[in-house]
Structure 1
Amino acid sequence: MERSVVKFSHCDKDIFCFFVPEQCPECGVSFSGRRLEEAPVSIPNPFSNGHKTPCAFLVAPAEESSLRDFDGGSDLHTGITNTNGVVYNYTKDGVRRDHHGWERCISIPLVKPDMYNLIDQWDQYLEKFSTEQTWDPLWQSFNEENHNCYNYTLMYINCVLATQAKPALSKDEFTQSFILPRIKRASKYLTLCEEIAHCHFYIVDSPPKVTEGEGKSD
């Protein structure tokens, strides 16, 4: 089971680790019988099991790559889950329907739980869209620039938006608003985990506390 990252504060430092130690790694003071400046908080893990996230957009490292590829410089693969967690994704061989392989990825839910009508039709929409001639490699070949997994997923999302009379999203809009912030968060989280695994702790200065009334002009 993957360890979770916790953060606590002491001696004006924010300390990240996999567990709260018996003494402060910065000043050596024992925590026995002492209260921390702030209660330890868990840092949310940006990764989830895509097969347990129905009706979602998924981002994962390309095949035979590692999670370190969330550094902005490597190829990523995208897919869409149906209501049972099967991941539809477009490849050079056409649309695949993966029942495993997306156990650790970034997932972006596309449907609110109360959107019953859309959920009821989701699988039908996704299957029909995926069997269109556009995604038949004999009719149109996979192209890394303009006919790839990202085009497939975004086009499906826009088709769903059209059924709800909502405007389509451009590639830049979807990337900047939904994908990049999550990829940056994932990259920082992985760097944090690597630092803790190597040094046991990751320590930074705590941000200055703003007291009430500070910064206000008369």
Structure 2
Amino acid sequence: MHPAEAGKPLIKFNHCKKYIYSFSVPQCCPLCQQVMGSRKLEEAPVSISNPFTNGHQEQCSFLLRPTQGTFLREYDGRSDLHVGITNTNGVVYNYTAHGVRRDEAGWEQSVSIPLVQPGMFGLMGQWDKYLEEFSASGAWLPQRYEEDHHNCYSYTLTFINCVLTAEGKGQLDKREFTEKYVVPRTRKASEYITLYRAVEGRGFYVTDRPEEATDPPEGGGVC
């Protein structure tokens, strides 16, 4: 991933009874101007997890990115999003008005949701065959594309449900899949974008220190 696409790493440290976010630890606290000096263990800087990943390094995953531009630079929270599914080599299959595309570049800053449970080697071994055969179906010809009803999201969800059916599992409707798998990750992405841009604009960002919340564990795969 190009550094401009990945963005700078964010860190968080404690000072003045506040959380301070920045791209690097300053020599002086931006609030009290005191030299930072040596810090206690609980005040040591920690890295903030980046919610974005290079989709071409992901296997058997659902990917989401802005239709135009990148999350960190151009995305405004209202722009259209585009989705796709990777094969085992990081090629992103996605449906557009031109039919099914097989992208080997362009998804370097994506939100990724793994679709295959760890250890399901049988499914991974068949994944590329399933995805290619599904994509060759007449249902995904260019002339069948409808922006509101037969689009990139319906393509990905239909494929996921085909795999779930083949595995003897129940299907997911759009609302259930979105709320259970997509919304938690896009919420984290939105928070990260806001934080990143605030630090980029001012050099640092300050928040109060609330009680630490524990995020619910993310599932290891959908299928």
TM-score, structure 2 as length reference: 0.87
Q: When the two structures are aligned, how many residues end up with a matched partner?
A: 206
Cα deviation for residue 70 of structure 1 reads 4.8
The DSSP-based 3-state class of the residue aligned with 1:127 is helix
Out of 13, 18, 21, the position equivalent to 1:16 is 21
Q: How do 1:19-168 and structure 2 match up within 5 A?
A: 19-35=24-40, 37-62=42-67, 64-67=68-71, 70-138=75-143, 141-168=144-171
* Residues 109 and 208 of structure 1: CA distance in aligned 2, closer, same or farther (over 3 Å): closer
Per-residue CA distance 1:148-181 (angstroms, 9 max, x = gap): 0000000000111111111101100111111122
Unaligned segments of structure 1, at least 5 residues: 210-218
AA in 2 matched with 1:144: E
Q: Which residue of 1 aligns with 2:180?
A: 177
Q: 8 Å contact 1:8–1:36 — kept in the other structure?
A: no
Distance across 1 between alignment mates of 2:75 and 2:179: 15
Q: 8 Å contact 1:58–1:78 — kept in the other structure?
A: yes
AA in 2 matched with 1:180: V
Q: 8 Å contact 2:28–2:35 — kept in the other structure?
A: yes
Q: Which has the larger radius of gyration?
A: 1
Distance across 1 between alignment mates of 2:148 and 2:131: 23
Cα deviation for residue 208 of structure 1 reads 5.4
The alignment's C-alpha RMSD in Å is: 1.6
Distance across 2 between alignment mates of 1:199 and 1:46: 22
Cα deviation for residue 99 of structure 1 reads 0.8
Q: 8 Å contact 1:51–1:100 — kept in the other structure?
A: yes
Q: 8 Å contact 1:7–1:43 — kept in the other structure?
A: yes
TM-score, structure 1 as length reference: 0.89
Distance across 1 between alignment mates of 2:112 and 2:147: 22
The DSSP-based 3-state class of the residue aligned with 1:122 is helix
Cα deviation for residue 39 of structure 1 reads 2.1
Instruction: Check if 1:203 corresponds to 2:190.
Output: no
The DSSP-based 3-state class of the residue aligned with 2:184 is helix
Instruction: Check if 1:3 corresponds to 2:8.
Output: yes
Unaligned segments of structure 2, at least 5 residues: 213-223
AA in 1 matched with 2:48: I
AA in 2 matched with 1:65: G
AA in 1 matched with 2:102: R
Q: Which residue of 1 aligns with 2:216?
A: none
Q: Which residue of 1 aligns with 2:215?
A: none
AA in 1 matched with 2:112: S
Per-residue CA distance 1:114-161 (angstroms, 9 max, x = gap): 1000000000000010001111234xx211111000000000001111
AA in 2 matched with 1:119: M
* Residues 125 and 176 of structure 1: CA distance in aligned 2, closer, same or farther (over 3 Å): same
Cα deviation for residue 71 of structure 1 reads 4.4
Distance across 1 between alignment mates of 2:191 and 2:211: 22
Distance across 2 between alignment mates of 1:196 and 1:102: 25
Q: 8 Å contact 1:92–1:137 — kept in the other structure?
A: yes
Distance across 2 between alignment mates of 1:45 and 1:23: 25
